[in-house]
Amino acid sequence: MSETVDEFGVVTESGNEALVLQPEHVSALAVVRGEIEMQLDAAHKYPRSVKRFLAEATTLATMDEDTAASCMYSFERGGKRITGPSIRCAEICASAWGNAHIGARIVDIDDKDVVAQGAMWDLEKNLRITVETRRRITNKRGERFNDDMITVTGNAAASIALRNAIFRIVPRAYVNRVYLAARKVAVGDATTLTEKRATVMEKLAKLGATAERVLAALGKRGVDDLGLEEIETLIGYGTAVKSGERRVDDVFPEVKPPTTAAEGPPPAEEQGRRMSLAGPKKKQMSIELPQESAAASPPRDPTSDDVSK
């Protein structure tokens, strides 16, 4: 029988693996176990209060307009725009929830995707949730991102995975109360609509989204057509762009100018297509009017000489 031992102390014998811990590994595990046991004891000794959690999380989420706006996130699903709590809102909820471990990391990167893992461990309930998120690292042409863009995409995937893990632990009924309070501060009401609209459009312009792009993305003809619902969606889009989860060109695509007559006639193929759609050209019907008859001419004198005779 052959035996091999790698640098981690794993002994392989006849295809079976047995873990052989070195003394330093045993010491490190003992320290980690002692820390976890202390945290578990503290979690049961000082249990959380839902009332205290809601008060603390709501206070943090509504500290100012910028913080409240960062708690909102917008995305498209099934052709519909949906706005919900962002990773910032999840972090606030996790902080106020207490007695928990949270973390996120990249677990895999292949030619087309990056995979991130987010986890939350509720020490008081002894409940651990792990969520994985996959994000593409290729563009529309199938070309792989450069290293910087892969890093940004990986960080965005880690944020999404962590947010999903936190919202699997913290009950959504509590999260919704915190989110609605933040939404009220960030969006405002009818009395502040005009001011809020101008502020949101100004912030989006700094991110590279012109008013023309914003209106085209929402299907609106003018800035005055943006109501409270559209303001909420735009705030969520801005949060997604700032966090790196979305790109400006993806959320607010570039608007192509319409074709004008100054650009010249359309190509021959386009002309043929238009003529086929219009159908066969109808022939003009002409009506030939009869010439004046001989009876209409002055009468001839029968006594005059006729050259034909």
Predicted pLDDT of residue 246: 82
Q: What digits encode the pLDDT tens for the residues 132-141?
A: 999 999 988 8
What is the model's pLDDT at position 70?
93
Instruction: Choose the weakest-confidence range: 51-55, 129-133, 254-258.
Output: 254-258
Q: What is the pLDDT of residue 20?
A: 61
Beta pairing class for 113-122 and 100-109: antiparallel
- DSSP E strands: which ranges in 78-168? 80-85, 100-109, 113-122, 127-136
Q: What is the largest CA-CA distance in the chain?
A: 152
Higher per-residue pLDDT: 237 or 6 = 237
The answer to whether the beta carbons of residues 121 and 168 sit under 8 Å apart is: no
Rounded CA-CA distance 250/135 in Å is 15
Q: What is the pLDDT of residue 41?
A: 81
Burial environment of residue 279 by CB neighbours within 10 A (0 to 12, 13 to 18, 19 or more):
exposed
Say which range, 85-99, 150-164, 181-195, 271-285, has the weakest mean pLDDT.
Answer: 271-285
Quote the pLDDT of residue 24.
65
Count CA atoms closer than 13 A to 118's CA, side-chain side.
23
What's the average model confidence in pLDDT over 51-63? Answer: 95
Q: Indicate if the pLDDT at residue 273 is higher than 80.
A: no
Alpha helices in 62-125 (DSSP H): 65-70, 87-97
pLDDT at 130 over 50: yes
The band of 44, judged by pLDDT with boundaries at 50, 70 and 90, is confident
- Decide: 83 and 233 in contact? Cβ < 8 Å: yes
Residue 126 clears pLDDT 70, i.e. is over it: yes
Report the alpha-carbon distance of residue 234 to residue 251 in Å, rounded. 10
Q: Tell me the CA end-to-end span of the chain in Å, nearest whole number.
A: 143
Residue 14 has pLDDT above 60, yes or no: no
Cα 141 from Cα 149, distance rounded (Å) = 16
For residues 41 and 226, the model is more confident at: 226
Q: How far apart are the C-alpha atoms of 85 and 68, rounded to whole Å?
A: 10
Q: Which pLDDT score, from 0 to 100, does residue 88 have?
A: 94
> 253, 213 in Cβ contact below 8 A?
yes
Nearest to 55 by CA among 85, 86, 93: 93
Identify the top-confidence range among 32-46, 194-208, 236-250.
194-208
For the segment 103-124, what is each residue's pLDDT rounded down to a tens digit? 999 999 999 999 999 999 999 9
The answer to whether residue 299 scores a pLDDT higher than 80 is no
Average pLDDT value for the chain: 80
For the segment 185-192, the average pLDDT, to the nearest whole number, is 88
Contact at 8 Å (CB) between 186 and 72?
A: yes
**What is the predicted pLDDT for the residue at 116?**
96
- Please check the confidence at residue 46 and state whether its pLDDT lies above 90: no
- Which tokens sit at 55? 């008060």
What's the pLDDT at 171?
Answer: 95
How much is the average pLDDT of 11-18? 50
Amino acid 78: pLDDT: 73
Residue 22's pLDDT band, with cuts at 50, 70 and 90, is: low
Asked if residue 102 has pLDDT above 90, the reply is: yes
Residue 254's nearest CA partner among 213, 222, 221 is: 213
| pLDDT in the model for residue 250 | 82
- What pLDDT score does 275 carry? 58
What pLDDT shows up at residue 269? 54
pLDDT confidence of residue 270: 54
Kindly indicate the confidence band of residue 35, based on its pLDDT and cuts at 50, 70 and 90.
confident
